């Protein structure tokens, strides 16, 4: 009897379904692992369990058929503004920010990095009100200005404290990934110098929205004298800082890249223009990472969302696999969070399923100018920690004729 019971126990284990979900038949693009072809992706316990060809459907409790679609790591947007719900009008530390979960998943994004909306003085409030309460993974660059992008002056060097910023970053090392300087239009380099000093104190990178040029402040000095290899220059196709001069790429951009500076799109409401991007791409100056600079002023304008910005880069001639790299593995490495941005076995199951549409489309820049394109990416399905968070066409849903409806309360 004992041998029969043991045999039945083993048989039961053999017949068990080890996977919670199986994405079947999609074209997997996983740059970290050099995957680019039709494969299945199995999920168990909120983790990537297996990526391989022809995983039997019988081994999963739920099978999602994604043939003809692209399966990628969850998209990583490293330039957003999501310090919302503070009640402050007209500023990014308030009404101009966007609630993360209201915007992330529908555009295929599973990780957002707030780009300096909060500073070393108000970051604990940002963490309590937003980071700890949302399902999107939210990380942050800490503003070198104590009040961040609030109603007080971002241009006051007296509120730029490298030691205070470093101390705050050390206390929140699990979610703070670096430091941000933005919008400064005064004399000298106090914002950049302060952010880089905080970066040296903590070993973290700096993201720079360079602000304004003057006789002293220019790209050569920024890239060759101020920033370190691994620091990030965002808004790289803005044109406000002479990234392109007389229709030609500024040699300072090439020199910066050779030195190890990283270049991020940071589209935003006023930082991506076709007359800058087109000559830069013609010179093969592609971004290291694609990001949105999401806020209420960009989401309803030319930027729209992450997949729209990715589509622009795709239509500028970058191969799809590289667009995915710029939106997943590259940004994860830039912020030194190499535990995500890929589909390795054992990684958290953050997955995006994209549809590549072919046709005639129009894409707007920050001035409202249109450029035609023939390809457009659309987020069909977004999975965070193995849970479906966005399902545009019900790919992971049960047909209503087979669905078991619960009795409605009277």
For the segment 54-65, what is each residue's pLDDT rounded down to a tens digit?
999 999 999 999
For the segment 111-154, what is each residue's pLDDT rounded down to a tens digit?
999 999 999 999 999 999 999 999 999 999 999 999 999 987 78
Task: Tell which residue, 323, 305, 324, 322, has the closest CA to residue 364.
Answer: 305
The answer on pLDDT for 7 being more than 60 is no
Phi and psi for 189 in degrees, rounded to 5?
A: -125, 35
pTM comes to 0.95
Look-up: residue for tokens 């667009």? 323
Residue 15 pLDDT level (bands cut at 50, 70, 90): low
Radius of gyration in angstroms for the set of CA atoms belonging to the chain, rounded to a whole number? 23
Over the range 18-37, which residues count as b (16 or more CB within 10 Å of their CB) and which as e?
ebbbbbbbbbbbbbbeebbe
The answer on pLDDT for 374 being more than 80 is yes
Q: What is the DSSP secondary-structure string of 219-286?
A: HHHIIIII--TT-EE--TB--TT-SEETTEE-HHHHHHHHHT-EEB---TTTSB-HHHHHHHHHTT--
Instruction: Provide the terminal-to-terminal Cα distance of the chain, rounded to the nearest Å.
Output: 52
- Residue 260 has a pLDDT of 98
* CA dihedral sign, ordered 170, 174, 177, 179: negative
Burial class (CB in 10 A: 0-12, 13-18, 19+), 155: middle
The answer on pLDDT for 289 being more than 80 is yes
- Give me the percent of the chain exceeding a pLDDT of 70: 96
For the segment 357-366, what is each residue's pLDDT rounded down to a tens digit?
999 999 999 9
CA 101 to each of CA 108, 112, 266, 382: distance values in angstroms, whole numbers, following the listed order: 11, 10, 20, 12
- Residue 5 has a pLDDT of 43
Residue 3 pLDDT level (bands cut at 50, 70, 90): very low
Burial class (CB in 10 A: 0-12, 13-18, 19+), 360: exposed
- Residue 6 has a pLDDT of 44
The answer on pLDDT for 87 being more than 50 is yes
Domains by residue range for the chain, with CATH: 99-341 (3.20.20.140)
Residue 10 pLDDT level (bands cut at 50, 70, 90): very low
- Residue 383 has a pLDDT of 98
- Residue 115 has a pLDDT of 98
Burial class (CB in 10 A: 0-12, 13-18, 19+), 371: middle
CA pair distance 163, 105, nearest whole angstrom: 36
The answer on pLDDT for 12 being more than 80 is no
- Residue 71 has a pLDDT of 99
Higher pLDDT, 397 or 85: 397
For the segment 177-229, what is each residue's pLDDT rounded down to a tens digit?
999 999 888 889 999 999 999 999 999 999 999 977 887 899 999 999 999 99
CA pair distance 256, 227, nearest whole angstrom: 9
- 327: helix, strand or coil: helix
For the segment 301-339, what is each residue's pLDDT rounded down to a tens digit?
999 999 999 999 999 999 999 999 999 999 999 999 999
Mean pLDDT of 339-355: 98
Residue 409 pLDDT level (bands cut at 50, 70, 90): confident
- Residue 154 has a pLDDT of 85
The answer on pLDDT for 1 being more than 60 is no
Cβ–Cβ < 8 Å for 91, 122: no
The answer on pLDDT for 4 being more than 90 is no
Q: How does the average pLDDT of the chain come out, rounded?
A: 94
The answer on pLDDT for 259 being more than 70 is yes
CA pair distance 260, 336, nearest whole angstrom: 15
């Amino acid at each position: 009897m004992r041998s029969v019971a043991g045999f039945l126990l083993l048989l039961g284990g053999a017949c068990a379904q080890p996977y919670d979900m199986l994405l079947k038949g999609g074209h997997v693009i996983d740059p970290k692992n050099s995957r680019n072809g039709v494969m299945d992706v199995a999920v168990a316990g909120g983790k990537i369990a297996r990526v391989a060809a022809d995983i039997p459907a019988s081994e999963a409790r739920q099978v999602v058929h994604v043939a003809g679609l692209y399966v990628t790591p969850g998209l990583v947007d490293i330039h957003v503004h999501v310090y919302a719900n503070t009640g402050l009008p007209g500023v990014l530390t308030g009404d101009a920010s966007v609630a993360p979960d209201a915007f992330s998943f529908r555009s295929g994004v599973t990780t957002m990095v707030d780009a300096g909306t909060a500073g070393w003085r108000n970051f604990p409030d940002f963490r309590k009100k937003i980071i700890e309460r949302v399902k999107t993974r939210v990380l942050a660059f800490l503003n070198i200005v104590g009040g961040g992008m609030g109603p007080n002056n971002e241009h006051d060097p007296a509120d730029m404290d490298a030691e205070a910023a470093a101390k705050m970053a050390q206390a929140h090392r699990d979610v703070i990934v670096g430091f941000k300087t933005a919008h400064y239009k005064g004399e000298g380099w106090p914002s950049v110098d302060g952010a880089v000093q905080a970066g040296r104190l903590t070993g973290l990178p700096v993201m720079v929205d360079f602000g304004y040029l003057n006789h002293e402040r220019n790209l050569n000095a920024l890239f060759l004298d101020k920033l370190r290899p691994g620091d990030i220059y965002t808004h790289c196709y803005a044109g406000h800082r002479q990234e392109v001069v007389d229709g030609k790429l500024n040699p300072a951009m090439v020199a910066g890249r050779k030195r190890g500076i990283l270049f991020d799109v940071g589209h935003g409401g006023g930082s991506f223009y076709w007359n800058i991007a087109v000559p830069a791409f013609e010179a093969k100056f592609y971004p290291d990472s694609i990001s949105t600079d999401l806020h209420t002023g960009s989401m309803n304008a030319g930027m729209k969302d992450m997949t729209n910005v990715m589509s622009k880069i795709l239509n500028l001639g970058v191969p799809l696999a590289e667009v995915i790299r710029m939106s997943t593995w590259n940004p994860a490495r830039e912020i030194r969070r190499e535990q995500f941005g890929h589909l390795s076995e054992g990684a958290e199951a953050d997955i995006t399923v994209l549809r590549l549409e072919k046709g005639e489309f129009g894409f707007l820049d920050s001035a409202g100018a249109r450029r035609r394109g023939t390809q457009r990416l659309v987020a069909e399905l977004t999975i965070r920690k193995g849970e479906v968070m966005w399902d545009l066409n019900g790919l992971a849903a049960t047909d209503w004729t087979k669905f078991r409806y619960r009795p409605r309360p009277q």
